[in-house]
Structure 1
Amino acid sequence: MESIRSFIAFDIEEPQVLRNISNVQSMLAETGARLKFVKPENIHITVKFLGNISLSQVDEVYDAMKKVDFSPFEVEIRGVGAFPNMRRINVVWAGISRGADELREIFNQLESRLHRMGFKKETREFSPHLTIARVKTGYRRDELARCLREIEDYKFGVVEAKCLRLKRSILKPEGPVYLTLREKCV
């Protein structure tokens, strides 16, 4: 049976926010660090990574999504940082300064419903963010960390979160392609 790599997320579609992310990506590129930037059309807030699911599970996951109770809410995207930390940067992220509680509540509802359906619970604490770059090598990591500290409180803007989407991730050499399989809009 065919399986697909999938996750549940809110896409970021606000043009000004995407321009601001692109501006920050340009600043990061100037450090000379070896980075792979997330394309604007792929910027999102992951609520729940599912991994590989069978095609028959798509509608089951969608049923769980439909039962999530939320109203449209604002998400302020502000600040930058790194996973796992600034000494060993693997991922560069943009933070969430408003809307994190709502995202956490949606995660908790999904986690509970999906766990009852047999999905594994997340072992790490939910940390709402937008991935904007991945580090390929440690080359010029100090310059990258310095740049991140200089823009650590960068204000990207505000988006409205109203469409929760089940996404398929197709990994390709030039970067992932994300397809929306189902969505719940409020």
Structure 2
Amino acid sequence: MRLFIGIEVPQFPKLIELLELVKNTGADIKLVEPFNIHITLLFLGEVRDDRVEDVKEAMSGLKFDKFTVTLKGLGAFPNLTRPRVIWVGMIEGQQQLRQIRSYLLNELLRRKIRPEDEKEFTPHLTIGRVKSLNSINNLISLINENINIDVGNFEVANVILFKSTLTPKGPIYDKLFEVKAIDRGGSSKANKAV
């Protein structure tokens, strides 16, 4: 089955507004459904059914405090001259996401499970994928106008193993396993992944 480890992102007004702005550029882009927007920590790709328990075991030792992710700015991969992926950036929470990802990656590799994206990690939210260069200049203008837009923030309280089923209408994500943040009876400044 097709798996990834990620973090759910709530649907808040500014994010929905940004999706609408991107849609209204007329660019040939496949937007991510608001309820499917997430932060991908590791994309595992196809994993045999008999290895899913190993993935859960790799995740089960993860310990982290709740932390805040602050979203800011619109951008594109690989660059603005030939955008393929449209994303929202983040200015707070990156360090904690990298620590969590690093822990999970090490645990997966110890179990001989090799994620497809083990090399690079730039924390972001993918909100759309460019299908062709039609009306691309409108999209590039919109990104330039919103390069520093404040989008909002949310609290990360769990890390989830998702099963991704591809359908003609878009992917369907099912939660298979979840690791909750340590409950310390209040927010903690020591946001560390062990």
Q: TM-score range, shorter-chain basis?
A: over 0.9
The letter of the residue matching 2:39 is I
Conserved 8 A contact 2:105-2:118 = no
Map 1:164-179 to 2 at 5 A: 164-179=159-174
Conserved 8 A contact 1:74-1:158 = yes
The letter of the residue matching 1:9 is G
Moved over 4 A (4+): none
Q: Secondary structure at the match of 2:126?
A: strand
Counterpart among 115, 122, 143 of residue 127 in structure 1: 122
Identify, as 1 or 2, the structure richer in strand: 1
Q: Which whole-Å CA distance do the structure 2 matches of 1:38 and 1:51 have between them?
A: 19
Conserved 8 A contact 2:9-2:39 = yes
The letter of the residue matching 1:160 is E
The letter of the residue matching 1:37 is L
Q: Which whole-Å CA distance do the structure 2 matches of 1:96 and 1:35 have between them?
A: 22
Counterpart among 73, 83, 103 of residue 79 in structure 1: 73
Conserved 8 A contact 2:27-2:135 = yes
2:97 is equivalent to residue 103 of structure 1: yes
2:1 is equivalent to residue 7 of structure 1: no
**1:66 Cα shift?**
1.3
Unaligned runs of 5+ in 2: 182-194
TM superposition score normalised by structure 1: 0.93
TM superposition score normalised by structure 2: 0.89
Partner of 1:137: 132
Quickly say closer, same or farther: Cα 1:123–1:181, change in 2 above 3 A. Answer: closer
Partner of 1:160: 155
Q: Which whole-Å CA distance do the structure 2 matches of 1:59 and 1:119 have between them?
A: 11
Unaligned runs of 5+ in 1: none
The letter of the residue matching 1:143 is N
Q: Which whole-Å CA distance do the structure 2 matches of 1:183 and 1:58 have between them?
A: 13
Q: Which whole-Å CA distance do the structure 1 matches of 2:168 and 2:123 have between them?
A: 27
**1:63 Cα shift?**
1.2
2:21 is equivalent to residue 32 of structure 1: no
Q: Which whole-Å CA distance do the structure 1 matches of 2:37 and 2:23 have between them?
A: 17
Q: Secondary structure at the match of 1:75?
A: strand
Map 1:33-52 to 2 at 5 A: 33-52=27-46
**1:43 Cα shift?**
0.7
Q: Secondary structure at the match of 2:95?
A: helix
Give CA-to-partner distance per residue, 1:132-157, whole Å, 9 cap, x none. 11111111112211110101111111
Conserved 8 A contact 1:91-1:134 = yes
In angstroms, what is the RMSD of aligned CA positions? 1.2
Q: Secondary structure at the match of 2:80?
A: coil
Q: How many residues align?
A: 180
Conserved 8 A contact 2:42-2:118 = no
**1:165 Cα shift?**
0.3
